[in-house]
Amino acid sequence: MLSDNLLSSLNKQVSNEFYSSYLYLQMASWFDHRSLVGFANWMKMQAQEEAAHTMILFNYILERGSMVDLGAIPSPQAEYSSPLEVFEKTLEHEQKVTAAINNLMAMATEEKDYATKAHLDWFISEQVEEEAGVSDILGKLKLVGDDSNGLFFIDKELSARTFIIPDKLNK
């Protein structure tokens, strides 16, 4: 059984992961509206990934014999000045998610909840990947600046992204 404190924090993270999915769908809409369908695709795939993360946490809470308590999801920012700003905000968001996961890990460590620590190990590694992927795109956007040909190339590259259901969700 999860402690009340850890359960509350895990439930909050479930809502945070839902928000992440919601945020990336909003960003996808922003890109689609500007005919940047590759960027929109990347964000849609990211939204699906975040929804999968939500379900991994959701299922874990239930497996531990606790109840999931879904919180409210705030409206995400809808307008941006450029693709660069969108990815700057994306990196900021992923860094906040990383901090939240790290806080959960610290709490599980303090409470000696080794099952939760083991479960969160996957999320720790996932966040390294998340930040690195966003940083890569951000670096490319900074490199091309206002060059529309460069933006077109990045858009084409991002259109190839597909969603792969995490193994952890299938367990």
Q: What is the pTM of this model?
A: 0.96
CATH number of 4-170: 1.20.1260.10
- The full set of domain ranges for the chain reads 4-170
Name which residue leads in pLDDT, 63 or 171. 63
Q: What is the pLDDT of residues 112-150, one digit of tens each?
A: 999 999 999 999 999 999 999 999 999 999 999 999 999
User: In this structure, are residues 76 and 22 in contact, taking their beta carbons and an 8 Å threshold?
Assistant: yes
Q: What is the pLDDT of residues 18-66, one digit of tens each?
A: 999 999 999 999 999 999 999 999 999 999 999 999 999 999 999 999 9
**pLDDT confidence of residue 110:** 98
Which of the 8 DSSP states describes residue 81?
A: S
User: In this structure, are residues 38 and 158 in contact, taking their beta carbons and an 8 Å threshold?
Assistant: yes
Distance CA 79, CA 83 (A): 11
pLDDT at 171 over 70: no
